[in-house]
Each structure stands twice: as structure tokens, then as C-alpha cells.
Structure 1
Amino acid sequence: MRKMAATILALAMLVLSAVPALGATVDQGKLKELQELYQQKYTIQTQIIEKKVKAGILDQTKADKIMNKMKEHQQRINQDFEKGEFHDFGPKKGCGQKPSNAQKTE
């Protein structure tokens, strides 16, 4: 019983100590720099897709789909930055990768 109480107390202290870090203020100057970098990234990715189409590596239909998704993503990023927020846009849970032991369904 004491071990459980000690564990609960330790978890409560851990959670309470993490709360101030979550409410930390964001440096707006650094956010602006990040926004500019994300815009540069979007511009470069767009140029890469266009070059692949010209080189015949990628067909125009597929390129249009990719560019539309990239544009939507960039718009979401810009909206977050306008709100003064930043969210990590890394891989999401279940990003299409299947476990090696997954069975194929038909």
C-alpha cells in the first residue's frame, strides 16, 4: 500500500512540475524565423516537384496531387503561426507503416 501511495505521489509531483513548462511563453521573433524557414522549405519542395515533372520522373497528375497536399499543409502551418503557435509537424502515429507481422486483407 505504501509503495502505491509513493508511486502516486511521485507521479503527481512529476505532472505538477511539468505544467509550468507547458505554459512557457513563445519567442515571437523565433516563431517568425521558423515561419520563414517553413516557407522556404515549401518553395524548394515545389521547385523540386516541377523539375521532376520536366525531367519526366513524375507525371503531372501525381505532381498536382502532391502539390495540393503540400499547399494544404503549408496553409495549416501558416494559420498556426498567425495564432502565435507552433506544433511539431513530424510523423503521426500510424503513418501508414504496417508491422512486419501484419496480415494482408482482401
Structure 2
Amino acid sequence: MCEYYFDEDRAVAYKINSPVTSYLNDEKDQKPKAILVQANVKITNYRKEKIRRILSEVYPVDKYDLESAKKSFTSTMIYNLVKSARKISQDEYNQIKAQVER
């Protein structure tokens, strides 16, 4: 599932895939030592530039479980990316995308 945002000041549309979590295991004993949270982000602007990036962050397994790591990632990394943008629907995103691709 994706979330869509539009920043009017920057004239930028964001498509952000849901964050995905996974354990990073220790090579020696195969025990989880950290949690990796990542999300694919597509940024489109009116200069017909498209940027695709993977945002990721590593969280210690002794302080976070998978859900709390995902919540922390969403409230920090993703929030900082889209804090000046407003949430839009997929239809609005597709309209912006169509305008840019003309």
C-alpha cells in the first residue's frame, strides 16, 4: 500500500510505499542484532525530474520490536521528508503525474 503527498511550495509529489521491516542477524550465532526498516520513495516534480530512493534506518533489537521500529521510522524519517506536504489521494497523484509527463 502506498501513501501520496504533495508539497505545493516545492511543487513536488511523493509516492511512499509502506515501510518494510526485517531482522539483521549476527553472522556468528544467527541471532537478531538489529532491525532494518526501509521504504521506497518516488519523488516527481514539475521539471519532469523523477527521483527514486530507498529510505532506511537501523534500530537496535534490544530497544525496539518490529512494530515499534516501523512506527519510529514513520514518525521520524518519513515525517521529515513530507512534513511540509499535504496528503493526497492516488487519483490526485495520478493527475499530477499526467501533467508532468506531458
TM-score (ref. length: structure 1): 0.27
User: Larger strand proportion, structure 1 or 2?
Assistant: 2
TM-score (ref. length: structure 2): 0.28
User: Larger helix proportion, structure 1 or 2?
Assistant: 1
